[in-house]
């Protein structure tokens, strides 16, 4: 089993649609969770951290379920500029706390 | 302020040659990471430096790969006797990552070095 698994893509949606990405992680000792965004041929950039109580940043909502080891990202009213690959990221457990483990990414394409 | 920088941005080399890739992290960031991303693939962890601790080399794919870091500054990733399967983008990232922490701070990535082995 992969340490971080994401929905296979790509997701093709029209502008204005709501889209949800799912992610599961294998190690229950992980403490930090993130969603990164990677544009084509660019480096990954932090989209948002994911907190236990869930958190929202504009059109983006992230949720964490520790019991199920599940993370989600919801994008409302999607824009053309949201087209990118979304990476679910979890930190390594214990003394590997600083090490980040990346999922394979889910590609999103928003069409007019 | 200045972000993470990497050089060269592109490197084309012949099979069997050695290459050296450089990363300048954000000033003050104690943690530095190297990743590899093959075309159409996710990020593959290679190595992690945290302050003066022994580096986590668990992701290095073979003994042809090595990396060094001078204090809390520049790092170089060296690939010896390059093979065609080494062709990828090599990404460096840095973060504040407190020593001994079980959590981690945001990682900031450089633009990467695109390595092509002919």
E strand segments, B2-87 = 5-7, 10-13, 19-24, 31-37, 43-50, 65-69, 75-79
Beta strands A84-91 and A33-38: pairing type?
antiparallel
Which chain B residues in 68-97 lie under 8 Å from chain A, judged by CB atoms? 91, 95, 97
Q: What is the pLDDT along chain B (118 residues), one digit of tens a residue?
A: 589 999 999 999 999 999 999 999 999 888 899 999 998 888 998 998 988 888 889 899 999 999 999 877 899 999 999 999 999 999 999 988 654 454 557 889 999 999 999 9
Closest CB to A105: pick one of B42, B104, B112: B42
The answer to whether the Cβ–Cβ distance between B48 and A99 falls below 8 Å is yes
Looking at the partner chain, which of A29, A32, A44 has a beta carbon nearest the beta carbon of B104? A32
């Amino acid at each position: 089993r992969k340490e971080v698994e994401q929905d296979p893509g790509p997701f093709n949606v029209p502008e204005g649609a709501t889209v949800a990405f799912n992610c599961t992680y294998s190690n229950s000792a992980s403490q930090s969770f993130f969603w990164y965004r990677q544009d084509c041929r660019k480096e990954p950039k932090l989209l948002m951290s994911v907190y236990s109580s869930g958190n929202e940043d504009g059109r983006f909502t992230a949720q964490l379920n520790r019991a199920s080891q599940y993370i989600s990202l919801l994008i409302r009213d999607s824009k053309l500029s949201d087209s990118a690959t979304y990476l679910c990221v979890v930190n390594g457990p214990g003394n590997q706390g600083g090490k980040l483990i990346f999922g394979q990414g889910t590609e999103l394409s928003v069409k007019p | 302020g200045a972000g993470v920088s990497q050089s060269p941005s592109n490197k084309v080399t012949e099979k069997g040659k050695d290459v050296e890739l450089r990363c300048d992290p954000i000033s003050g960031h104690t943690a530095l990471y190297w990743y590899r991303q093959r075309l159409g693939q996710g990020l593959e962890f290679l190595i992690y430096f945290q302050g003066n601790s022994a580096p986590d080399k668990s992701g290095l794919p073979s003994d042809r790969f090595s990396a060094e870091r001078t204090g809390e500054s520049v790092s170089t990733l060296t690939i010896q006797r390059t093979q065609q399967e080494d062709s990828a983008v090599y990404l460096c990232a840095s973060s504040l990552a407190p020593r001994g922490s079980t959590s981690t701070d945001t990682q900031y990535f450089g633009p990467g070095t695109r390595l092509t082995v002919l």
